[in-house]
Structure 1
Amino acid sequence: MSGTNAPDSTDAARTEGAPAIRLGLRQNAAQFGLLVAVNALVGGMLGQERTVLPLLGEREFGLKAYTAGLSFILVFGLAKAATNYFAGTMADRYGRKPVLVAGWLVAVPVPLMLIWAPSWAWVIVANVLLGISQGLTWSTTVVMKIDLVGPARRGLAMGLNEAAGYGAVAVTALLTGYLAQSYGLRPAPFLLGIAFAALGLGLSTLVVRETRDHARLEAASHVARDDGLHDHLHAELGNRAVFTQTSFREPALSSASQAGLVNNLNDGLAWGLFPILFAGAGLSVGRIGVLAAVYPAVWGVGQLLTGALSDRWGRKWLIAGGMGLQAVALGLVALGDSFTVWASAAALLGLGTSAVYPTLLASIGDVAHPAWRARAVGVYRLWRDGGFAAGALLAGIIADAVGVRAAIWVVAALTAASGLVVAVRMYETHPRAHRQPRTRTPDAESTQSVTSEQEAHHG
């Protein structure tokens, strides 16, 4: 049955008693809002570590070498990166919701291990579990939101998703800083993580609904680009082809992957070394918590604007400009020696990251066919979160050899180079920049609907 000759799908839903499936932010507002809340809890699980853990390693476990102190970020990044890849494949095979619930189950023991850890090895194992959990939960909420909204509002959807996640990182980093200042590095800051894990597991199990049929609906009505640029990216790509296209061959997908890797490379640097740099300058744990919160706070709030702007202006130049702004901010951190300068640099770094983060995800959604989009998101996030591990290793080695500020300068140069790669190699991916739809397609405000039974005929 074709999309144009099908009987009125709303009538069919009433007749057959099956729930109608619709694409669009307004049509799926309740589930979309629920997933925003769930992703805020995912971000909170990450935020519980941003202020406290680098200081815990130095003060309670006596870690002196920067490379050893950053080992928790290294294992977190490796675990999350690998899990991102498999999360996309599992979401396509088994559905989105089971993957989300599994991620929360893995998260439950993490704050308990951090509270009771008798050695740094426990912290390492806890961060392996946190990386697996974040890979399953954050990847899946991204895919589910892309499923729900359709093609026209992807940037806005990703802005809302990432704003919730990193806004929660900021708030939690700030709260844990004050808790650590008032009650010590353990256990008070990690009690927040226990609450986040319980809420996230409960909501994901009892209230979140499956969204895989929304992706199938979009795939049934998918319209190719007029310029033929994606003609080789058909719906039958296997896992190896998806990996190759997203990582190396397709210009926009591979440009996004390398930019994501470098973005999280500098985030890993900020997470692991900034608190130590600030503490070395004599700042209190409370003020370090403020600085640790400013960066993700501006990053989170800024995405509410930049995600929507990318739907109007396009993706490419927001990404390239954002990477350049990050490089400038990192240079300012390396030059600074006061709370005021570092707070300004952190805000600038957050602003640059807010231009990049949702826009990269939206560009992946623009290019990848709905039939393998979850896998492409997984591959992109494999590279992006591999940046945590690369940043921890690179920054630790350089900091041990020549100092923290030198490590920051090296990462600033890499970030600027990544922005140049995007400017030279990436093309504009947003649909409005290259065509008008030739046929009716489901967009954010579409009233098109289809029942699950009808959709099976399309597939």
Structure 2
Amino acid sequence: MNSPRPATAAPGARTSPQLRLGLRQNAAQFTLLVVVNALVGGMLGQERTVVPLLGEREFGLRAYTAGLTFIVAFGLSKAVANYVAGTLSDRYGRKPVLVAGWLVAVPVPLLLIWAPSWAWVVAANILLGVSQGLTWSTTVVMKIDLVGAQRRGLAMGLNEAAGYAAVAATAMVTGLLAQTYGLRPAPFLLGLAFAALGLALSSVAVRETREHARLEAKGHVARADGRHDHLHEELTSGQVFAQTSFREPALSSASQAGLVNNLNDGLAWGLFPVLFAATGMSVARIGVLAALYPAVWGLGQLVTGALSDRWGRKWLIVAGMLVQAVALGLVAAGDTFGAWAVAAALLGAGTAMVYPTLLASIGDVAHPAWRARSVGVYRLWRDGGFAVGALLSGVLADLYGVRTAIWAVAALTAASGLVVAVRMYETLRGPSHDQSQRVAAANTVR
């Protein structure tokens, strides 16, 4: 088979005499990107315990809706940044977008430390959302680029596990720091260190991966069942948005499930610490509960991502959404540390079943030529769930109480799982999947 002509490298990319697809073949860069995404998660984790309590205790916010404005700001800005990240990374390359995301992250902990009013906290979260959208989206796309189709679920499991394990660890550590030294500035000094290290690694050590996606595109093989025949390489950004959001059954099912998943995460982020604090629980113990959910979520993805490569995507997603619904019901019904710990662990397990699997399903369906844009659209909907969740749960909590708001979100999560069960098809390929891998492996750029 003739070797394909290498495409022009992205600006700032390092060229390599040989490109190959696969986790083992790209182990060094993949591992580096896992570390970078852990730092991205740490930037988010610095807020999970402290900021909801900061609004209540230092800025006197009593209405739940007002207290959740920082999550609305974060969710909206991250959603838009996800979409922009996908488009820009297809046009200019992945690495410049990643570095830009870290540059935006640097002021965030400083604004949180110096904030004289809640408006500063909201502004910090707008920047945090932009940074998270650019950095996390790009690390997702870069890992998909490197591994090809064969171990996509495992790759997403490793990526999300690193990010959310860091969220959990940072949430716990900041809770302890806040208990010992106060809500500011100590907890946010961690974020400052994470931003500096993430910027340095991304600028110096990370390599461009867009050529790997082009290599995979050259060996792309259609599904044996005829699905996706109407989805060809030349799609405009508007067509990618329409297919991912509404038209293509698997892509649109994943988008709505992602939105609802982060809707309930926005609820957990904004209202769980307030619910726990209402019982007189210490900040340190609240930090443990705030960390337990993303810890199980993060570490569980090491298993669930790989399982989705063996068992398939659809029913793992359905089961995960239903498990999350049950866990939210247990939070609403509980009133002790032990009961909430069990519920938090169960919520993390359900989320672990869903999170990497949804991303893998997007990678299964989207053509490599427009996959980054499709990931960006999916993450636009998914992280828009933060804003929807904060607004919905805040309004319901103000009108009917925190527990009623949690019950309502539990019902919505269960309904989302049923939508996936009815509308989504299995995206993991059969025999043509292995054929595609052989073709891509043969098309090595020398």
Q: TM-score range with shorter-chain normalisation?
A: over 0.9
Name the SS for the 1:209 alignment partner.
Answer: coil
CA offset digits 1:376-413 (Å, max 9, x no partner)? 00000000000000000000000000100000000000
Distance change >3 Å, CA 181–CA 437, structure 1 → 2: closer
1-structure distance, mates of 2:266, 2:439: 38
Q: How does 1:76-155 map to 2 (within 5 A)?
A: 76-155=74-153
1-structure distance, mates of 2:388, 2:311: 32
2-structure distance, mates of 1:292, 1:436: 40
Deviation at residue 442 of structure 1 after TM alignment: 5.3
2-structure distance, mates of 1:314, 1:39: 25
Deviation at residue 282 of structure 1 after TM alignment: 1.2
Q: Which of 445, 449, 453 lines up with 2:444 in the alignment?
A: 449
Structure 1 residue identity aligned to 2:186: A
**Any conservation in 2 of the 1:23–1:442 contact (CA below 8 Å)?**
no
1-structure distance, mates of 2:282, 2:4: 67
2-structure distance, mates of 1:18, 1:174: 41
Name the SS for the 1:20 alignment partner.
Answer: coil
1-structure distance, mates of 2:70, 2:417: 28
Q: Which of 3, 6, 15 lines up with 1:6 in the alignment?
A: 3
2-structure distance, mates of 1:395, 1:153: 37
Structure-2 residue corresponding to 1:328 = 326
Q: Which of 312, 325, 341 lines up with 2:339 in the alignment?
A: 341
1-structure distance, mates of 2:336, 2:439: 51
CA offset digits 1:241-285 (Å, max 9, x no partner)? 000000000000000000000000000000000000000011100
Distance change >3 Å, CA 198–CA 341, structure 1 → 2: same
Distance change >3 Å, CA 442–CA 381, structure 1 → 2: farther
**Any conservation in 2 of the 1:100–1:137 contact (CA below 8 Å)?**
yes
2-structure distance, mates of 1:106, 1:439: 38
Distance change >3 Å, CA 440–CA 300, structure 1 → 2: closer
**Any conservation in 1 of the 2:76–2:384 contact (CA below 8 Å)?**
yes
2-structure distance, mates of 1:397, 1:388: 14
Distance change >3 Å, CA 280–CA 208, structure 1 → 2: same
Distance change >3 Å, CA 124–CA 442, structure 1 → 2: farther
Name the SS for the 1:431 alignment partner.
Answer: coil
Deviation at residue 299 of structure 1 after TM alignment: 0.2
Structure 2 residue identity aligned to 1:26: R
Structure 2 residue identity aligned to 1:344: V
Q: Which of 240, 255, 263 lines up with 1:257 in the alignment?
A: 255
**Any conservation in 2 of the 1:107–1:129 contact (CA below 8 Å)?**
yes
Structure 2 residue identity aligned to 1:6: S
CA offset digits 1:435-459 (Å, max 9, x no partner)? 464566357xx475213xxxxxxxx
**Any conservation in 2 of the 1:92–1:374 contact (CA below 8 Å)?**
yes
TM-score, structure 2 as length reference: 0.96
2-structure distance, mates of 1:325, 1:203: 37
Name the SS for the 1:282 alignment partner.
Answer: coil
**Any conservation in 2 of the 1:268–1:387 contact (CA below 8 Å)?**
yes
2-structure distance, mates of 1:142, 1:164: 12
Deviation at residue 19 of structure 1 after TM alignment: 1.7
**Any conservation in 1 of the 2:148–2:437 contact (CA below 8 Å)?**
no
Distance change >3 Å, CA 53–CA 18, structure 1 → 2: closer
Distance change >3 Å, CA 440–CA 310, structure 1 → 2: closer
The RMSD of aligned alpha carbons is 1.4
Q: Which of 409, 425, 428 lines up with 1:427 in the alignment?
A: 425
2-structure distance, mates of 1:402, 1:277: 14
Structure-1 residue corresponding to 2:10 = none
2-structure distance, mates of 1:237, 1:8: 22
Structure-1 residue corresponding to 2:172 = 174
2-structure distance, mates of 1:71, 1:245: 31
Structure-2 residue corresponding to 1:353 = 351
**Any conservation in 2 of the 1:112–1:194 contact (CA below 8 Å)?**
yes
1:368 aligns with 2:366: yes
Distance change >3 Å, CA 94–CA 7, structure 1 → 2: closer
2-structure distance, mates of 1:106, 1:6: 40
Taking every aligned residue pair, what percent have the same amino acid on both sides?
A: 78
1:408 aligns with 2:406: yes
1-structure distance, mates of 2:53, 2:143: 36
TM-score, structure 1 as length reference: 0.94
Structure-1 residue corresponding to 2:282 = 284
Structure 2 residue identity aligned to 1:316: K
**Any conservation in 1 of the 2:141–2:372 contact (CA below 8 Å)?**
yes
2-structure distance, mates of 1:159, 1:362: 9
Structure 1 residue identity aligned to 2:355: Y
Name the SS for the 1:124 alignment partner.
Answer: helix
Deviation at residue 164 of structure 1 after TM alignment: 0.1
Structure-2 residue corresponding to 1:183 = 181
**Any conservation in 1 of the 2:78–2:133 contact (CA below 8 Å)?**
yes
2-structure distance, mates of 1:154, 1:7: 24
Runs of at least 5 residues in structure 2 that lack an aligned partner in the other structure: 7-14
